[in-house]
Structure 1
Amino acid sequence: MAGPVLAYWLRRFGFEPTVVERTPALRHGLGGHAVDLFGSGVEVVRRMGLWAQIHEARTRTTIMTLERRGGRPVDVNVDRLSAGISDQHVEILRGELTKILYDATRADVEYLFGDSIATVHDDGSGVDVTFDHAAPRRFDLVIGADGLHSTVRRLVFGPEEGLRRPLGGYLAVYSLPDLFDLGNRMLVHIDVNRIVSTYGVHQTGEARAAFLFRKPEELRFDHRDQEQQRQIVEAEFRDCGWRVPQLLEHLATADDFYFDAINQITLDSWCRGRVGLVGDAGFSPGPAIGGGTSLAAVTAYVLAGELASARNDLPAGLRSYEQRISRYVDLSRAAAVKTMRSVIPGSRTAVRLVPWATATLVKLPASIQKLAWSQNGLGKALGALQLPDYSPHLTSR
């Protein structure tokens, strides 16, 4: 999310960005899990002229059915639940969002697919970069927008192990046939320390399965070893009952399987000389729980704007960007910690209460819902940064 949004605005402000992407080509299509844009994140894509496309591509899930062992299913209106968090919201599959952003930038932004940065050397007046495949080049700035396991962050700020904070949760997502004729409904099974959900993908007629679980001890795994990760998911959920055995039958063959720990990146500074970080590379609040997609969109927009404002002193622009976003980042990370504690029930009592509490919440007036979400912290975080107006710096549209 952060990379193409940043590239879009840098180009509009007169810069010449190059995006380096490890995958051999854009993963067109509808892969990845559903992500949310809230509040200022929605406003960023509006300013990019992409709102109509993104809204048309939304997941269109309207009903969430919460189920637990021994309890009656509870239906929750998803739109009412989202409205309590923010007045502006859209849920969209990650792959669909990536395609829209790429299409909006590919005509005037250079993309290097199938490559990765190997070394970075900042001599104060520019940055020399070598790649795994391409010839060495020199840039005015290097921005790491390469996600939770950022290579740029590792090269310049140090190994990931010393910069991450495990929150105790894990997330797995993959595609499978629509086994339950889901339509616009999401099915959610709640158990102690684990949640399973499945929802339809209206564009393809398929479905997505998502698994969230929490462990008291940190799991050790290779984030590139998918076979190891599939074994972890199988072991955690094989005794879950409900519809889980049917979902797990498709785990081994899914070609878009994703798994990772829900970790935060705890850096307090996201710039060093002429190198900066944005999105999950710099300050991941935690996948699936901290509003990371909105955070990525907003901070990428602010970074481009601050660089445009300080065109003659780009390191100063990085520092200004850091000052502008610091409170937003802090609130997002704090909200994610609270969400992690509440979203996955840790006891049988909590499992019984979650469906009832959620159904009750969406029936309350929007003002009361917003107050409740602000106590959680997510609502407060999402509204913590009003988008600056950088239009005087535009050089192209």
Structure 2
Amino acid sequence: MTDFSASRARFDLPAGITYLDGNSLGPLPGAAVERARRTIADEWGPMLITGWNKAQWMDLPARLGDRIGRLIGAPAGSTVVGDTLSIKVYQAVASAVELRPGRKIVLSDSGNFPSDLYMADGLLKSLKQGHELKIVDPEAVADHINEDVAAVMLTQVDYRTGRLHDMKTITAKAHASGAMMIWDLAHTAGALPIDLTDCNADIAVGCTYKYLNGGPGAPGFIHVRPDLIDQVRPALSGWLGHEAPFSFDLDYRPGEGISRMRVGTPPVIQMAVLDAALDEFDGIAMEAIRARSIELCEQFIAEVESGCKDVELASPRDPHARGSQVSFRFREGYAAMQALIARGIIGDFRAPDIMRFGFCPLYNTPDEVSHAAAALCEIIATGEWDRPEFKTRKAVT
């Protein structure tokens, strides 16, 4: 049986805070502080530029890619870390569209994270070849996959409601029609078991600052199915994706394997923090994390609904149809969330009326679930949310 109390003790959680926003930004793993200090003081300081060789900084994108690969069911050498998730989305869509010439549709859904849609739309417009980004309801995706679709691009978990797509079924439908399949794992990597190999996904991308706890601004990752890697032409031809970056040739030749999907210089300090954060998953099965996650989410839903009739569950009722988050609708959801935060219970809000609560078994406990549910019910029952300071919108919601 997994001892989640031991993993919780390895996180530097502020006293008196119940943190239910790991689906937006994971908390600080205690070991990350020492790892960052060591990278700065023991590597960058005395080694200076020789740290690229002596401390093997240049290898971090591939090494971290393989560590994440083990969490998402990807074989070694098929995942690389670097740049931002938006950059990786751009690379993924550009590569997929080029591999399906003559097809003009990139299909996505209204539950996809807007940045993914922005990147795809901007890319397709810049191509000026008649491509179209088609956005449908999440439930209607499968019905719109046909021979006109070059690529299907979906976030596995809806960032607002937690609705979970059936990765294997949709991927099979895309392949049956001849389309490429792109998955964004931002809200699932580190939260539930993923098997990209079993699903036969073509390309997957994700971020590392949510359930992987890599810290604010932690880099994104991209996976390409091994048999496709040598066919993929990186649209962003960065120098570190070059076959021989230190030859400084004036012509671009893509590197071998997944290295061709590298773009810019790796953020070494941030990657060192991520490396330490990934240690928290060593020895813990993703199936155990998923099982505890469902328990916590089910407990939260039951306790909120038994104590508060003015909220509406926005997440799927079936625990196997949602990710590791629970969302409730409330007409004054922003103000209610601010009242919760004032009590030291941190979730977040998504327009127009959704309160989101993320659950991570590595550090969240059943007692915290009860505490948060009771506080939410009390805030709504008493009208505590109805104060001017709770209705003033901040830059980040």
Which bracket does the TM-score occupy, shorter chain normalised? under 0.3
- TM-score with structure 1 setting the length: 0.23
Please identify which structure carries the higher strand content. Answer: 1
- TM-score with structure 2 setting the length: 0.23
Please identify which structure carries the higher helix content. Answer: 2
